[in-house]
């Protein structure tokens, strides 16, 4: 086993599949099975999911909602997604805990670092909702912060593309994929991996990132087993 403890970052949009908004239950169940397979290997697994399939705070100012209010609405959307993932996993018999940065005791535990570590040590999958609990920070930053706090070995960023390319592969057919790339190279080439706050946090805390295609069955388990999948951002 290459990694003892990992944090998986999923976008809210990933849960939509081909829908225009909301949660596609086939996609949700697919992810739950993937997560279960990894958890059963003994890897300590945590998850941060975005809320863009329900609400995107950064787009609200156009509609007349102020940015701070919109960001809090986006945080609540991440909790809804976290509850969905929790329910799908528990249907498969996986023990989980949903922890939120904003207190909402009736549906989730408040995020307390020592408690989160204890859950992981006991083999529970921990889902972190509510972002960082502060406006102006993305769920990429929340994922990085939580990964550092729980001393994860790596952040796995599940996307719809199979890694980091020299250009957008959906627009430029000549784009080539990196198998490995350094943080400095990403900075110099202006590649879009995470938002700058999150990426800088990873760099400063020596936390590697792997960008991979989450929608290809088995990829997550291969990564947990130490196989080469996607693109590794390292030092």
Domain boundaries, the chain: 5-234
pLDDT tens for 97-125 read 999 999 999 999 999 999 999 999 999 99
Q: Which two tokens stand for residue 67?
A: 């940015």
Residue 61 binned pLDDT confidence (cut-offs 50, 70, 90): low
Alpha helices in 92-182 (DSSP H): 113-121, 139-149
Q: How far apart are the first and last CA of the chain?
A: 21
CATH class of 5-234: alpha beta
Residue 88 scores a pLDDT above 80: yes
Mean pLDDT rounded to a whole number for the chain: 93
Q: In 3-state terms, what secondary structure has residue 181? A: strand
pLDDT tens for 157-176 read 998 889 999 888 778 888 89
């Amino acid at each position: 086993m290459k990694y003892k403890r990992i944090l998986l970052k999923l976008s809210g949009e990933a849960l939509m599949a081909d829908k225009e908004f909301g949660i596609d239950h086939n996609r949700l169940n697919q992810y739950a099975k993937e997560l279960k397979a990894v958890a059963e290997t003994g890897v300590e697994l945590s998850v941060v999911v975005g809320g863009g399939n329900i609400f995107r705070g950064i787009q609200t100012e156009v509609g007349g909602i102020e940015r701070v209010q919109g960001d809090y609405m986006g945080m609540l959307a991440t909790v809804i997604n976290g509850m969905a993932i929790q329910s799908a996993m528990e249907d498969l018999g996986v023990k989980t805990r949903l922890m939120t940065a904003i207190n909402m005791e009736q549906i989730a535990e408040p995020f307390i670092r020592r408690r989160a570590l204890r859950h992981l040590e006991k083999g529970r999958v921990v889902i972190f909702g509510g972002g960082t609990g502060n406006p102006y920070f993305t769920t990429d930053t929340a994922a990085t912060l939580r990964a550092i706090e729980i001393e994860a070995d790596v952040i796995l960023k599940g996307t719809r593309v199979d890694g980091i390319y020299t250009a957008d592969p959906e627009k430029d057919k000549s784009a080539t994929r990196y198998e490995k790339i350094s943080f400095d190279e990403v900075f110099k080439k202006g590649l879009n991996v995470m938002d700058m706050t999150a990426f800088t946090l990873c760099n400063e805390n020596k936390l590697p990132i792997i960008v991979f295609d989450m929608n290809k069955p088995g990829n997550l388990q291969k990564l947990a087993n130490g196989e080469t999948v996607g693109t590794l951002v390292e030092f």
